[in-house]
Amino acid sequence: MTREHQGGGRGWAAARKGVWSRLRFTSLRLRLVVVFGLVALTAAVSASGIAYWLNREAVLTRAQDAVLRDFEQEMQNRAGALPTHPTQDELQRTAGQMAAGGRHFSVLLVARDPGGRTVYGSSGGLGGFTLEDVPASLREAVDKRQKTTATNEHAYHLYWQRIVDGDTPYLVAGTKVIGGGPTGYLRESLEPEAKDLNSLAWSLGIATALALIGSALLAQAAASTVLKPVQRLGAAARRLGEGRLDTRLRVSGTDELADLSRTFNSAAEALEKRVADMAAREAASRRFVADMSHELRTPLTAITAVTEVLEEELEFEGGGIDPMIEPAVRLVVSETRRLNDLVENLMEVTRFDAGTARLVLDDVDVADQITACIDARAWLDAVELDAERGIHARLDPRRLDVILANLIGNALKHGGSPVRVSVTESEGTGAPGADGTEGAGGAEGAGGTDGAEVVIRVRDHGPGIPEDVLPHVFDRFYKASASRPRSEGSGLGLSIALENAHIHGGDITAENSPEGGAVFTLRLPRDASALAERDAEDRAGGKDGAGGGGAGSKGEDTKGQA
């Protein structure tokens, strides 16, 4: 597939996504219009159908009754005056007289002449209304002799039927003269009534269409009335989700939507107050931790000096330390160091939280920096380094040392030897910055190109990190086991390492290797100058916070391994 084809596919997919987005946006409006339209259409069609049927029956029944009444009267008055066996001329003359009366319908008279032959008399002549124009079922009903009873006085009755010849509807009826005589049939065109009914149908159809259009307009108006408050509520909810907690809705009316707006305003007000209270408590907590850390430094300095003297006495052979209290002295020395590290880490955390931590950049050789970190902590025998010299980056050396010390020390303490550290380069897209935005690759600097990354992996050969612990390894003070709330570290090492990576515009991830052991991957930009300049601009006009402090930690976090 060519690149042009791929671009066309993406464009078509984007257009289709846009169409579906618009459909989703107007779906409620469409549903309201469709529902209103269906209800109106059903009501209009039902009303029109009932009206048409009632009017049709009324028109046809009225016309039919008038014709049958006139025909029956003519049969009694004129056909009944004929002899039992009339001649054809008499039938022809009588049929003409009957048709010339009232409704001017066509008449056909059938009888037997004195010779026993069947003769016909038609109002339209011999080529007009004939017996073939009368349905056979109607002829059979007319000729069928009924049994006379107390409730049925006559043997023959008047029967009628509606037929369509071509496109013209007709009324056909037939009967015999009571007391004996010819059989008469009539045919009356119902075309005028059909035209009237067609006009009525057109009128009802137009009324139905107008009702449908009116219902669509009404649905549109109703949808606008209902959806505008809903849209305002959705926009307010989005603004609230973006952090604009002072968002409020204008309330008017007393309906359910007004109640919903009042409820939203109450919830937003309560949320704003709750967030403000939480922010105040968080700020107070940070101030407390910062103040406490600073206040602890002075007595810790004195205690540290005393413990150093005690430690020298312990190392001095033949010193004056009583062997009975030697374990207690060693415990005091160890715990003093731990407390000192904890205070330093707390001060470093407060700098990150306050946004006063800053970078002091320098061009460093990454391999030399890692070697110096390992050598300073006497880890040369336990760490394998796979890094070529010549990979330069513009970073903060002190903060990089803090990151490496925490990752390598954590691997040695909770993983298993040997710990392997490897360094590679990649053309990264920019790791997330300290504020969660995409980290800047930086301009070309120290042997790097724009967007390039340095990738440092620290792998141990331990049992790995439990899956339920992996998401929390960078959380502050997180302990993998509640049964071991106290550990040798402070629980802040990996958290501080991650913050130092973020301030560079990089990131740290943790995972388990398929071959066993845990792998921590540090990604840093080759040049963090752009991020440092941006932070400097943000602080322009303000007083810089203390960027120093916090000696390199020795991996005091826990990976949660058994």
Residue spans of alpha helices (H) in 78-155 = 88-100, 136-143
Compute and round to an integer the Cα radius of gyration of the chain. 52
List the end-to-end C-alpha distance of the chain, in Å, as a whole number.
52
- 237 CB neighbour count, 10 Å cutoff: 15
Answer yes or no: are the C-beta atoms of 402 and 370 closer than 8 Å. no
- In angstroms, the CA 83 to CA 86 distance is 5
Contact 320, 329 (CB under 8 A): no
Contact residues for 383 (Cβ-Cβ < 8 A; gap 6+) = 374, 408, 412, 418, 419, 420, 421
pTM beyond 0.75, yes or no: no
Residue 17: predicted pLDDT = 53
CA separation, residue 55 to residues 42, 48, 103, 194, 440 (Å): 20, 10, 22, 11, 82
Please choose, from the candidates 355, 372, 393, 370, the residue with its C-alpha nearest in 3D space to the C-alpha of residue 502: 355
505 and 512 Cβ atoms separated by less than 8 Å: no
For domain 356-538, which CATH number applies: 3.40.190.10, 3.90.400.10, 3.30.470.30, 3.30.565.10? 3.30.565.10
Q: How far apart are CA 249 and CA 272, in angstroms?
A: 14
Residue 378 backbone class (left: φ over 0; alpha: ψ -120 to 50; beta: rest): left
Q: Are strands 518-525 and 507-512 parallel, antiparallel or unpaired?
A: antiparallel
- Listed by start position, the domains of the chain span 19-77+194-243, 82-189, 245-354, 356-538
Q: Is 120 helix (H, G, I), strand (E, B) or coil?
A: strand
Task: Report the CATH fold assignment for 82-189.
Answer: Beta-Lactamase (3.30.450)
Quick check: 365 and 401 in contact, CB under 8 A? no
pLDDT values of the chain reduced to their tens digit, one per residue, 562 residues? 344 444 444 455 555 555 444 544 456 677 777 777 788 888 888 888 888 888 878 888 888 888 888 888 888 888 877 887 888 888 888 888 888 766 678 888 888 888 778 888 888 754 578 888 888 888 888 888 888 777 777 778 888 888 888 778 888 998 888 777 788 888 888 888 888 888 888 888 888 888 888 877 877 777 777 777 788 888 888 988 888 888 888 888 777 778 888 898 899 899 989 888 888 887 777 777 667 767 777 787 788 787 777 777 777 655 566 677 778 877 887 777 777 777 776 777 777 666 667 778 889 899 999 999 998 888 888 888 888 888 889 998 888 988 998 899 888 888 777 899 999 988 765 444 444 444 444 333 333 445 588 999 999 988 888 888 888 888 877 765 544 444 555 677 888 888 888 888 899 999 998 888 899 999 999 888 887 777 766 666 444 443 333 333 333 343 333 2
Question: Class of the 245-354 domain?
Answer: mainly alpha
What pLDDT does 422 receive? 92
Return the C-alpha torsion angle 20, 26, 28, 30, nearest 10. Answer: -100
